[in-house]
Structure 1
């Protein structure tokens, strides 16, 4: 330590305690000093943060100003600090004021005079802007995930989204020893709609048909558009007592009724194929191939 540092240290040691309190009072962060469980000091920023005058904070139990849901975590934070864990991260919670809710972060340290009691020095910060920014980032990330996993026209899952859900369906079925079916649907003669009415009307048919699929299946079923006019459905927990032909007949009766479009009524027809887990395969590629092959077999049979 050089001479200048030694002089500065000596001068600081000689400053009165009142000066330090003045510094704490002017800090932008809320500061509380707690002895035992009672607040013995609060600065102006703490009064503003809690929305309380000074006399309503000082000499009161600190837990009085904390939400019940955060009290156990704050007490554990104090214990960790007392046990010497000075690197314990800040904790966050929502402070319930009389006029609004304020998200805050809290961190504590301890100090002890030579013959004095243990003092918790608690700093709190209003993190409203940080919370809003974090929420905006989460919403943006969720939106990007949605765009990456969904077809922009029909809002159904796309190939990537379907792949992710298929992996979860297989894992769940293996864990629960359950069965599910994979339905492949290919709209027949869809090209004629585009040729006759234009691509805008073709898109209208696809959107209407996608809505029809979502309405006809259960919320637990997964519906995806995996090609221009190709759709795949994961039928959750399908009963083994229902045969493939009966299953397809029931589905076709629901989804292939005529669509009412802006250019008039459009009569739907489609080729369909179905595969089942685990009878036809235990991985995505095998199940899709089996359903796809049966769909093309049905399409070939209907054209003869």
Structure 2
């Protein structure tokens, strides 16, 4: 079962690698594609938007056609998107590549977390989800460093060739080792289950956690989108130096995640959720204060 979980992890990592690996190369990409850095930065929210909305479509497809076929389709799209990004010479082609990658990770993410639900239950499932989510916290710490090293050695296209090779290797492993985990009694879904989505969206409990998660992710997205400009364009850091600075923040995320994993066992979820809102508010206030006072310093 450990091998199965590691295989699912390899699929889950496609999404964060697709974001964090190329962050140090944004100025070089903009220069290479003769575009403003701000325009290239918008490929980050584009990727996340497609990934988020696409999972609403991929979920029914996974139930209808099985986990393994959708995983392979996602990996094929990821390889295509990475190769297109690595060979792009104009920004519209690069945007198309990121859109394809976003569609690809919809498949891999849904398959990975569906696989946990198919094979595991109870504490075993909780440990598997914790392992996968914990690994996702490591990627922001390590991926920019790897991307910075690749960019310094081989140029901005190298991280995308790395993603292409990674997806190709995982694709071979999936063909050989990933079992089909869809239960035999899974009901086929005709079209998008819009009524079910609407019913879920009206649940207060779901909305509370969804908005908390969206707020936290929004803060992360703002940081990810602006960190390169602040630290590299204005701060003068090299891609490798930026990777170390960004990676330090990733390790902090790991430590805080570990703290909350222990806290939630002793305190209620509502208490932890309240702590999240308080820390988010403090972070926003400190950021505003810093941006206000920094120009005068």
Same fold by TM-score greater than 0.5: no
Structure with bigger helix share is 2
Structure with bigger strand share is 1
Which structure has the larger Rg over C-alpha atoms? 1
- Scaled by the length of structure 1, the TM-score of the pair is 0.20
